[in-house]
Amino acid sequence: MDSAPWSDRTAQSDGADRSDAAERSVTYVPATVTRSAKIVIAGGFGVGKTTLIGSVSEVRPLRMEEPITQASAGVDDLRGTPHKTTTTVAMDFGRIHMAGGRLALYLFGLPGQSRFQPLWEDLAEGALGCLVLADTRDLDASHDALGLLDGAGIPYAVAINTFPDAPDYPEAELRQALALDPATPLTCCDARDRTSALHALITLTEYLSEYRSAALLESRR
């Protein structure tokens, strides 16, 4: 296979404005990539899924958001996010490379409201694993996503997004509240911070590697 450039720009006509050319910039998968995986990012409404994907994506993230209107009154709980003005209505998408550029992770962010559950099921199909974001101000908001993943047999890790005004609980209490299996990774992150968000994704990928290895060994018995 011919090597594709990591990033390239469409040809410019004579005298074309450089800023306009930048808008037509095309980013390719680097030639170093030998493996790829689909990862979904799930969690309750306003938990930070869009923010996390935007923090780590190495390409311009795709966001499908709409303004929050009066139609959502009594449906979407804005108590924890009073300044939120938009909401994801389809999905977020980003891409990041790990393992020295050999692994490409395609990140699909699910909308947080439970009324989008049929869309969750479609987007989660074929996923290698999931990172579930949780907010200690409303841990119950994570249960729908966790139930869907358990039912679909998709392995996942949980990351507590550390909002400034959110209460802090011991890990044992968080695991109990979220009904997590002892083997399920539980970590904390700040979805706004690239390094912190990357740490959460690395925790998930390490767990998925161990999970797949254990499943392979079990199948050979």
pLDDT in tens, 145-191: 999 899 999 999 999 999 998 999 999 999 999 999 999 999 999 99
Q: Which long-range contacts (CB under 8 A, 24 or more apart) does 179-186 make?
A: 179/143, 179/146, 184/156, 184/157, 184/158, 185/157, 185/158, 186/157, 186/158, 186/159, 186/160
Residue of 10, 105, 14, 123 lying closest to 52 (CA atoms)? 105
pLDDT tens digits along 60-84:
888 665 454 454 444 445 455 555 4
| CA 162, 168, 171, 172 torsion-angle sign | negative
pTM for the whole structure: 0.75
Residue of 151, 156, 103, 96 lying closest to 131 (CA atoms)? 156
